[in-house]
């Protein structure tokens, strides 16, 4: 028996149990009459729980709850053919059966991961502060047109600028909510885009029944179940759609996408927090 693995599972289960008990300790917390976001004691205790990992909330806490459908999402399966390789690497590169990584004479690399993720590396990043942020959008528009990328339904949802460059994230929207598994990542510096990543959803359908979400305040203690979240500052909290991409992702071509709270930290990392009553359909 792998005792280290068993120990990790038990610790994680204990943390999740504590989170559940923390939330359940408040009377009638899920009743329609009770507004957890107006309960100063609850909010303070929630913040104290996060402080155990030195997690600080540095943004306005959303007060909304939602009644939203679950989405059936179908992913684009990327065909590695001559047309794709020509768009990104030039006509001199030809497809080879069962090969998923290609490069050209300029050092550019195109890789298809799990049949759905496209990763295109143009060159190394050149560190330095980006002076003109307006040019980022112009560069992205030019790139999308040049590479003939289908960006219908996508819009910018995140922009992080640092001394090492920038990351601009576009996600596909459904009824004003982002579907975070359908994305375009643009890694940029003063010389333009040096890396691009994309995963696309081609079909979205609502499943019968809707989920009544919990508030962000009730979901945030679930951050304690992530071992890699500590000493971080929360700068943004949004309601989005998300599907867990686990080790079986390469076999997935369609999957349900659930409404979740997305937590964005000051260092650009993100975590998705499922709504507690995810199976409470109405």
Based on the fold, state whether residues 140 and 92 are members of the same structural domain: yes
In the chain, the percentage of residues whose pLDDT exceeds 70 is 84
By CB neighbour count within 10 A (0-12 exposed, 13-18 middle, 19+ buried), where does 154 fall?
A: buried
**Computed from CA positions of residues 210, 13, 239, 177, in that sequence, does the dihedral angle turn out positive or negative?**
negative
Question: Is 53 in the same domain as 89?
Answer: no
Is the overall model pTM greater than 0.85, yes or no?
A: no
Mean pLDDT of 55-73: 94
**Same domain flag for 150 and 222:** no
Residue closest to 91 by CA, chosen among 76, 107, 111, 105? 105
Are 197 and 95 within one domain? Answer: yes
- Total number of domains constituting the chain: 2
* Range from 64-78, 107-121, 212-226, 264-278 carrying the lowest mean pLDDT: 264-278
- Give me the CATH number covering residue 224: 2.40.128
Give residue-wise pLDDT tens across range 206-245: 998 898 998 999 999 999 989 899 999 999 999 999 999 9
Q: Let me know whether 100 and 64 are in one domain.
A: no
pLDDT in tens, 174-210: 999 999 999 999 999 988 999 999 999 999 999 988 9
- Residue closest to 273 by CA, chosen among 234, 229, 242: 242
Task: Specify burial of residue 183 (Cβ count, 10 A radius: 0-12, 13-18, 19+).
Answer: buried
The reply to whether 251 falls in a domain is no
Considering the domain architecture, whether residues 194 and 85 belong to the same structural domain is answered as yes
- Within a domain: 98: yes
| Residue 40: per-residue pLDDT | 85
Residue 122 resides in a domain? yes
Residues 187 and 209 in one domain: no
- Same structural domain, 113 and 184: yes
Residues 128 and 222 occupy one common structural domain: no
Question: What would the mean pLDDT of 23-38 be, rounded to a whole number?
Answer: 52
Residue 248 counted as domain residue:
no
- pLDDT computed for residue 37 by the predictor: 66
Identify the pLDDT of residue 8: 47
Residue 25 in this model has a pLDDT that exceeds 80: no
Residue 7 sits in the same domain as residue 66: yes
The verdict on residue 138 lying in a domain is: yes
CATH assignment at residue 146 = 3.30.310.160
Residue 164: which domain range? 73-203
Burial pattern 113-151, b for ≥16 Cβ within 10 A else e, equals ebbbbbbbbbeeeeeeebeeeeebeebbeebbeeeebeb
One domain, residues 199 and 77: yes
Residue 171 has pLDDT above 90, yes or no: yes
180: in domain: yes
pLDDT of residue 275: 77
* 66/77 same-domain check: no
3-state secondary structure the chain: CCHHHHHHHHHHHHHHHHHHHHHHCCCCCCCCCCCHHHCHHHHHHHHHHHHCCCEEECCCCCCCCCEEEEEEEEECCCCCCHHHHHHHHCCCCCCCCCCCEEECCCCCEEEEECCCEEEEECCCCCCCCCCCCHHHHHHHHHHHHHCCCCCCCEEEEEEEEECCEEEEEEEEEECCEEEEEEEEEEEEECCEEEEEEEECEEEEEEEEEEEECCCHHHHHHHHHHCCCCCCEEEEEEEEEEECCCCCCHHHCCEEEEEEEEEEEECCCCEEEEECCCCCCEC
> Is residue 280 in some structural domain?
no
Is residue 64 one of the residues assigned to a domain? yes
Mean pLDDT of 78-94: 97
């Amino acid at each position: 028996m792998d005792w280290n693995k068993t120990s990790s599972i038990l610790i994680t289960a204990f943390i999740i149990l504590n989170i559940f008990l923390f939330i359940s300790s408040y009377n009638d917390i899920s009743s329609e009459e009770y507004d957890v976001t107006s309960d100063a004691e609850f909010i303070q205790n929630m913040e104290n729980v996060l402080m155990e990992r030195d997690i600080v909330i540095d943004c306005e806490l959303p007060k909304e709850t939602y009644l939203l459908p679950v989405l059936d999402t179908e992913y684009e399966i990327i065909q590695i053919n001559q047309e794709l390789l020509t768009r990104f690497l030039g006509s001199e590169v030809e497809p080879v059966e069962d090969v998923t990584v290609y490069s050209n004479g300029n050092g550019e690399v195109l890789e298809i991961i799990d049949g759905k993720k496209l990763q295109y590396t143009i060159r190394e990043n050149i560190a330095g502060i980006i002076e003109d942020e307006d040019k980022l959008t112009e560069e992205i528009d030019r790139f999308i047109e040049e590479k003939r990328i289908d960006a219908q339904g996508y819009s910018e949802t995140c922009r992080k600028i640092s001394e090492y460059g920038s990351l601009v994230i576009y996600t596909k929207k459904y009824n004003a909510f982002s579907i975070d598994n359908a994305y375009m990542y643009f890694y940029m510096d003063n010389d333009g885009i040096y890396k691009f990543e994309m995963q696309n959803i081609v079909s979205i359908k609502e499943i019968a029944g809707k989920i009544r979400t919990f508030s962000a305040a009730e979901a945030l203690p679930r951050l304690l179940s992530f071992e890699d979240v500590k000493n971080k500052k929360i700068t943004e909290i949004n309601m989005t759609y998300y599907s867990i991409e686990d080790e079986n992702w390469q076999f997935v071509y369609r999957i349900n996408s659930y409404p979740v709270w997305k937590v964005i930290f000051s260092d650009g990392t993100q975590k998705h927090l499922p709504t507690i009553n995810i199976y409470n359909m109405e």
